[in-house]
Amino acid sequence: MATLKAVRGTRDLLPPETALWNRVEATARAVFARYGFGEIRTPIFETTELFARGVGEETDIVSKEMYTWEDRGRADSDKGQSLTLRPENTAGVVRAYIEHGLADSGLLQKLFYIGPQFRRERPQRGRYRQFWQIGAEVLGPAWSGSDSALRDAEVLEMLATFLDELGVKGWRLALNSVGSSTDRPRYVEALKAALAPVKAGMCENCQRRAETNPLRVLDCKEAEDQATIDALPKIADYLDDASREHFALVKAALDACGVAYVVEPRLVRGLDYYTRTTFEFTVPDGSGLGTQNALLGGGRYDGLSEMLGGPKAPGIGFAIGEDRLILTLQAQAGEAAEKKLDVFIAPMGVARNAEALRLAQELRRAGLSVEVGDGFFRLKKSFEAADKLARRMIILGEDEVASGILTVKDFAAGEQTKVPRSELAAVLRG
């Protein structure tokens, strides 16, 4: 029979690597809490319409990467509906914001999420069809200050703190403003006009995007197209005074906090809902990501709530590619030292198994990490297993049970000591 495998583009995360995933998530929770964020968990699937409206029909994500299916009604009289595995989480969060009337509090909502997202992309290192994002959104009615440049800078400063606390080295913040919802269409028109006479000489992708989504032309990586793209109009020249001032305030606040950034006029990002501030954090070559060097991205989306039928609710958010963050940490830190258990208990003979489990219970309740062997193991096998799994080993034979004096072998020190059972937990903890 053919063996069954995980589906292409998906993967299993196994110990000990999952310990690193947990450390990353625990750090995110701890850092985000210090900035007043609370966790939101939205469903993994939503109506297809949410993403079509929220992310944009013209985007690569919606036009070709979504896992969509026609969900049957339960009875013949029930209408079916088109559902989709979430390709990103911002649309779901904004839907929840509207659905639960979170605007009514009048306060700024600061929400973070951690979870899998799904896109049918061509799998490669750092690009999967099920991948994980750690993201956050700050949104609310304008009178809560949700459109203030202060919030953009606060989110960026939080990301810098998060990456620094995790120990990510050499990250680079690229920053741009794509203007308001009126600046952007003016720019797109100018871009279309400038592309019309030159697009025939560009790559196939650019030719298509020049028609469907001209902003995406700026993302093109083809060497031959770069000179043409550099000569195209720049968004900075199409910003109105309010957007220009907003961007200046974001930069001034980042300067005040000592967060380094590089203004990158071509950074427009793929999703339709972005307005004003957009940003991306990358890591240097050799950080384990190959060509997929974007660690995280985000931006402001002042019109998204209204696009989804909600009240006006300016906001800003980001999504970190957790898979890529893990690859980076692994590459930058080298193979993380495997964490061993505190102790391995080796019962001598099956008759000692129950007592071994009782001793393990005692030590585990005292906060120690413990593995128990099995009385049918030969002593040599117990030693081998203990050496692989734990830093120390306790042999539990008839004499030890009777006397209450246990022998603890420390593998690193190569020493053996006798310890009364009543002092065991304290000694092992020391």
> Can you give the binding site for ligand AMP, defined by CB under 6 A?
88, 119, 121, 126-128, 131, 133, 294-297, 319, 321, 323-324
Smallest gap, in angstroms, from Cβ of residue 56 to ligand AMP?
Answer: 12
Instruction: List Cβ<8 Å contacts ≥24 apart for 347-352.
Output: 347/372, 347/373, 347/374, 347/375, 347/396, 348/375, 348/379, 348/395, 348/396, 348/397, 348/398, 349/375, 349/397, 349/398, 350/374, 350/375, 350/376, 351/375, 352/396, 352/397, 352/398, 352/401
Bridge partners of residue 406, in order along the sequence: 419
Q: Shortest approach of ligand AMP to residue 133 CB, angstroms? A: 5
Nearest residue to ligand AMP, scored by beta-carbon proximity: 321
**Identity (one letter) of the amino acid at 132?**
W
* Exposure class string for 285-322: b at 16+ Cβ within 10 A, else e: eebbbeebbbbbbbbbbbbbbebbebeebbbbbbbbbb
Which is nearer to ligand AMP, 214 or 297 (by Cβ)?
Answer: 297
Count, residues in the chain: 430
SS3 category, 300: strand
The smaller minimum CB distance to ligand AMP, of residues 178 and 370, is found at 178
Q: How far is the CB of 22 from ligand AMP (least distance, A)?
A: 19
CA separation (Å) from 24 to 40, 150, 162, 164, 363? 18, 26, 9, 12, 28
CB of 130 to ligand AMP, least distance (A): 8
Q: Shortest approach of ligand AMP to residue 269 CB, angstroms?
A: 6
Identity of the residue, 295 or 390, whose beta carbon is nearer to ligand AMP in the bound complex: 295
Shortest Å distance, C-beta 289 to ligand AMP: 9
Nearer to ligand AMP, 171 or 344 (CB): 171
Q: Residue 65 or residue 374: which is nearer to ligand AMP going by CB?
A: 65
Cβ within 8 Å of residue 40, ≥6 positions away: 93, 96, 111, 112, 113
* Cβ closest to ligand AMP, residue 95 vs residue 391: 95
Residue whose CB is less far from ligand AMP, 88 or 371: 88
Q: Which residues in 355-387 are b (16+ Cβ under 10 Å) and which e? A: bbeebbeebeeeebebbbbebebeeeebbebbe
β-pairing, 262-263 with 172-177? parallel
Q: Cβ closer to ligand AMP: 289 or 345?
A: 289
User: Minimum distance between the CB of residue 400 and ligand AMP, rounded to whole angstroms?
Assistant: 52
End-to-end Cα spacing for the chain: 52
Strand 343-347's sheet: what is its strand order? 370-372, 343-347, 392-396, 405-410, 415-420
Nearest approach, Cβ of 11 to ligand AMP (angstroms)?
Answer: 11
Q: Which is nearer to ligand AMP, 127 or 409 (CB)?
A: 127
Minimum gap (Å) between residue 397 Cβ and ligand AMP: 52
